[in-house]
């Protein structure tokens, strides 16, 4: 009996020791609205593994997925205050805080995924990321979010005429409110987590999003008409609280930047696969897709959005630079 006890004690001490040796000195809490397995969540988890490896286990990242830390707008504020260390969010909810982020939220600003990658991977992308610093945030990386299209619970929307008077939820940004108005609809800005029940109860007719979000949120269950107008390509962004950033050594900051850079191709590959899988899944579940859309009509209708929001020289220049990228 005594021997067994000694053995157990030794064993427990061994476990405790191994645990201490592997313990993280710094654990960065990262927020995401999406569920486990979603490409943005997986990308930040991947980044966490890289950082841990490169800091010899000192710096760890813990991803709080499924909006455990709150809805995007609130988590952004908490990240600015340093309550949350890292945050993977859409660029959209930053529009009312950081002027430069508006350019990536303009309808049809990107001609294609390739065009968007060129812009984000180049100087313009860096300049916009740098703009976060004046707002207590460090911009670490952009992730893909495909194209967003409208969906609703009422009818197949084939033309602009069909959209007239319909109520759509948008992310909390004035650009998107004006975008829906320009199309003749009514916009209701609200947090992502409230959309499902709002469609179900008829508070709104629908919303707009990419395939993976339309699928993972379950919105396709309550709004089965999806119109492939692809009016927005709003990138995701991974930001860090400047307060948390400044607590890291220069070496750890570099490890984090490097891991963030490397998580991008990982995410893009996963994203392309997930887009396809989600599309197939919603189709199987009975979603009706309107594929033939006169995009020129949509693009023309969006002119007032540019007129209203691209007014400063700064934004005009960024828009011109984006358009000049081949
Ligand atoms: C998804 C974005 C997510 C946004 C959501 C939304 O990945 O960050 O919160 O759209 O519409 O595509 O709010």
> Residue 9: pLDDT above 60?
no
Q: Are residues 194 and 260 in the same domain?
A: no
Q: Please state, rounded to an integer, the average pLDDT across all residues of the chain.
A: 95
Q: Indicate the number of domains in the chain.
A: 2
Any domain includes 5: no
pLDDT tens-digit map of 126-166:
999 999 999 999 999 999 999 999 999 999 999 999 999 99
Domain hosting 260: range is: 14-144+235-277
Q: Are residues 260 and 124 in the same domain?
A: yes
Burial class (CB in 10 A: 0-12, 13-18, 19+), 272: middle
Q: Are residues 214 and 315 in the same domain?
A: yes
Q: Are residues 270 and 312 in the same domain?
A: no
Q: Are residues 239 and 224 in the same domain?
A: no
Q: Are residues 240 and 107 in the same domain?
A: yes
Pairing of strands 86-90, 225-232: unpaired
> Which DSSP state fits 35?
P
Q: Are residues 126 and 49 in the same domain?
A: yes
How far is residue 249's CA from residue 2's CA, in Å, rounded to a whole number?
48
How far is residue 192's CA from residue 21's CA, in Å, rounded to a whole number?
40
Q: Are residues 72 and 187 in the same domain?
A: no
Which residue is listed with tokens 């960065």? 28
Determine the atom of ligand 1 nearest the C-alpha atom of 90.
8
Q: Tell me what pLDDT residue 23 has.
A: 86
Residue 200: both structure tokens together: 């179900």
Residue of 319, 304, 297 lying closest to 178 (CA atoms): 304
pLDDT tens-digit map of 270-299:
999 999 999 999 999 999 999 999 999 999
Average pLDDT (296-317) is 98
> Residue 16: pLDDT above 80?
no
Q: Report the separation in Å between the CA atom of 18 and the middle of ligand 1, taken as the mean of its atom positions.
A: 40
Determine the atom of ligand 1 nearest the C-alpha atom of 32.
8
Q: Tell me what pLDDT residue 11 has.
A: 52
Find the CATH number of the domain harbouring 91.
3.40.190.170
Any domain includes 294: yes
How far is residue 274's CA from residue 40's CA, in Å, rounded to a whole number?
11
Any domain includes 7: no
In terms of pLDDT, which residue wins out, 171 or 3?
A: 171
Q: Are residues 205 and 93 in the same domain?
A: no
Q: Are residues 188 and 95 in the same domain?
A: no
**What is the CB < 6 Å shell around ligand 1?**
33, 72, 89-90, 145, 171, 192, 209-210, 213, 236
Q: Report the separation in Å between the CA atom of 90 and the middle of ligand 1, taken as the mean of its atom positions.
A: 6
**Per-residue pLDDT band at 12 (split at 50, 70, 90):** low
Q: Are residues 209 and 305 in the same domain?
A: yes
Determine the atom of ligand 1 nearest the C-alpha atom of 169.
11
Task: For ligand 1, atom 8, name the residue with the nearest CA.
Answer: 90
Q: Report the separation in Å between the CA atom of 105 and the middle of ligand 1, taken as the mean of its atom positions.
A: 12
Q: Report the separation in Å between the CA atom of 93 and the middle of ligand 1, taken as the mean of its atom positions.
A: 9
């Amino acid at each position: 009996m005594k021997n067994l006890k000694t053995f157990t004690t030794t064993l427990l001490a061994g476990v405790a020791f191994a645990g201490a040796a592997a313990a993280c000195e710094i654990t960065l809490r990262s927020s995401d609205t999406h569920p486990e397995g979603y490409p943005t969540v997986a990308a930040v988890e991947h980044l966490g593994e890289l950082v841990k490896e490169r800091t010899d286990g000192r710096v760890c990242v813990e991803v709080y997925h499924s909006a455990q830390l709150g809805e995007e707008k609130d988590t952004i504020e908490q990240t600015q205050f340093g309550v949350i260390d890292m945050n993977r969010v859409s660029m959209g909810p930053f529009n009312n805080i950081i002027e430069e982020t508006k350019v990536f939220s303009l309808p049809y600003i990107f001609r294609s995924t390739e065009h968007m990658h060129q812009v984000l991977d180049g100087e313009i992308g860096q300049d916009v990321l740098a703009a976060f610093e004046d707002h207590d945030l460090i911009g670490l990386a952009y992730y893909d979010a495909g194209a967003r299209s409208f969906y609703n619970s009422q009818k197949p929307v084939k033309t602009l005429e069909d959209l007239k008077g319909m109520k759509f939820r948008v992310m909390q940004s004035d650009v998107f409110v004006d975008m829906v108005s320009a199309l003749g609809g009514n916009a209701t800005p609200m947090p992502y987590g409230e959309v499902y029940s709002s469609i179900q109860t008829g508070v709104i007719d629908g919303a707009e999003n990419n395939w993976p979000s339309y699928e993972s949120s379950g919105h396709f269950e309550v709004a089965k008409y999806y119109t492939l107008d692809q009016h927005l390509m709003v990138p995701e962004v991974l930001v860090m609280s400047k307060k948390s950033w400044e607590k890291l050594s220069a070496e750890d900051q570099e490890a984090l930047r490097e891991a963030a850079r490397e998580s991008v191709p990982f995410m893009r590959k996963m994203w392309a696969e997930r887009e396809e899988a989600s599309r197939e899944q919603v189709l199987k579940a009975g979603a009706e897709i309107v594929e033939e859309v006169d995009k020129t009509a949509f693009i023309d209708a969006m002119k007032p959005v540019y007129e209203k929001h691209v007014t400063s020289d700064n934004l005009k220049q960024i828009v011109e630079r984006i358009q000049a990228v081949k």
